[in-house]
Amino acid sequence: MKEISIVNTFSVYNSISELPTDIQDLMSQAAEVRKNAYAPYSKFRVGVALFLDNGKVVVGSNQENAAYPSGLCAERVAIFYAGAAYPEAKILKMAITAASDSNKTMAPIPPCGACRQSIAEYEIRQEAPIEIYFMGEIGDIYKSDSLKNLLPFMFDKKFL
């Protein structure tokens, strides 16, 4: 037997004001669209803003459904829309923010496993990393230079 070690590196910003100004704007758009989340069951609202290489910003919020799990997470709403509306564009940056109707979310909230897999598909397809910034409602913001930090053993088409 042998062991392997995987080291993941994240940048940590203590507040939105520490972020580069373009990311401050992206995170503000994510926070604004978070208000549009349809979350009557979980009471957990997520907003996402994507910056594309064509200069466009695409946003998304989570959309729940009584026939769980028929809803979609904010990350997938945004990336699927970007893929449909701008199929040739690359996703350069993603800002994610989450808030609960029940309490303040102070810890950075990363994408769920299904969203990580969906983001991986786009990152692999475009052959370029996606910078991912994520936070709760308030508090620290984490930055990953690529989805590979969040999902080091990515499953993709080469395994099919």
User: Domain spans of the chain?
Assistant: 11-150
- Residue the block writes with tokens 């989805």: 147
**Ligand-binding site membership of 66 (annotated):** yes
**Ligand-binding site membership of 107 (annotated):** no
Q: Read off the pLDDT band of 156 (50, 70, 90).
A: confident
Give CA torsion, residues 135, 136, 140, 142, to 10 deg.
Answer: -20
Q: Which residue has the higher pLDDT, 155 or 25?
A: 25
> Looking at domain 11-150, which of 3.40.50.12280, 3.40.140.10, 3.90.1150.200, 1.10.3720.10 is its CATH number?
3.40.140.10
Share of the chain above pLDDT 70, in %: 100
**Ligand-binding site membership of 78 (annotated):** no
**Ligand-binding site membership of 63 (annotated):** yes
Of 3, 75, 88, 137, which one is the catalytic site residue? 75
Q: What is the predicted pLDDT for the residue at 157?
A: 83
> In this structure, what are the phi and psi dihedrals at residue 108, rounded to the nearest 5 degrees?
-60, 135
Q: How many residues does the chain have?
A: 160
- Using alpha carbons, select from 87, 88, 80, 40 the residue that is nearest to residue 60: 80
**30 pLDDT higher than 90:** yes
pLDDT tens digits, residue range 52-83?
Answer: 999 999 999 999 999 988 899 999 999 999 99
**Ligand-binding site membership of 67 (annotated):** yes
Distance CA 38, CA 126 (A): 30
Q: State mean pLDDT over 85-98.
A: 98
Distance CA 78, CA 59 (A): 5
Catalytic residue at 75?
yes
Strands (E) located in the chain: 11-13, 44-52, 57-61, 91-100, 131-135, 141-144
